[in-house]
């Protein structure tokens, strides 16, 4: 079994911190190095995707629900919340469940 450490997550900022006082955070999780690497990849993917979103924003006739960059961002965000739900403490799980964000979401 891999050694798990405590991390503090800020979803909006895409931050993963090892100390609670480093920056504002919303969720506390216990994760292995591999799990944190996967979470970082999801955050990084959304950051890279934001450049495409910016470029698309200058094309006014493409609607949000017909834009593949938005689909990628939304799917990554769902995966982030799913990981936090799996790895988070009771408060994190309860908060995500109260949001209803994972209802009807199934990761691949």
Domain-located, residue 106: no
pLDDT of residue 32: 97
Q: Which two tokens stand for residue 106?
A: 């199934």
Residues 6 or more apart whose CB falls under 8 angstroms from that of 40 comprise: 16
pLDDT of residue 21: 95
Domain-located, residue 16: yes
Q: Which two tokens stand for residue 108?
A: 């691949």
What residues make up the domain containing 21?
5-99
| Per-residue pLDDT tens over the stretch 52-102 | 555 555 556 556 555 566 777 788 899 999 999 999 999 999 999 999 888
- The total number of structural domains in the chain stands at 1
Domain-located, residue 69: yes
Domain-located, residue 104: no
Domain-located, residue 105: no
Domain-located, residue 94: yes
Q: Which two tokens stand for residue 100?
A: 């209803």
| Per-residue pLDDT tens over the stretch 1-57 | 579 999 999 998 999 999 999 999 999 999 999 999 999 999 988 775 555 555 555
Global pTM reads: 0.77
pLDDT of residue 9: 97
Domain-located, residue 107: no
Domain-located, residue 48: yes
């Amino acid at each position: 079994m891999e050694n798990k450490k405590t991390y503090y997550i800020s979803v909006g900022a895409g931050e993963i911190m090892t100390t609670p006082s480093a920056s504002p955070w919303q969720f506390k999780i216990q994760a292995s190095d591999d799990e944190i690497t996967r979470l970082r990849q999801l955050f990084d993917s959304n950051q890279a995707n934001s450049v495409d979103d910016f470029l698309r924003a200058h094309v006014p006739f493409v609607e949000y629900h017909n834009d593949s960059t938005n689909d990628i961002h939304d799917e990554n965000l769902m995966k982030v919340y799913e990981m936090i739900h799996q790895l988070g403490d009771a408060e994190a799980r309860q908060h995500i469940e109260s949001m209803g964000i994972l209802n009807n979401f199934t990761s691949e």
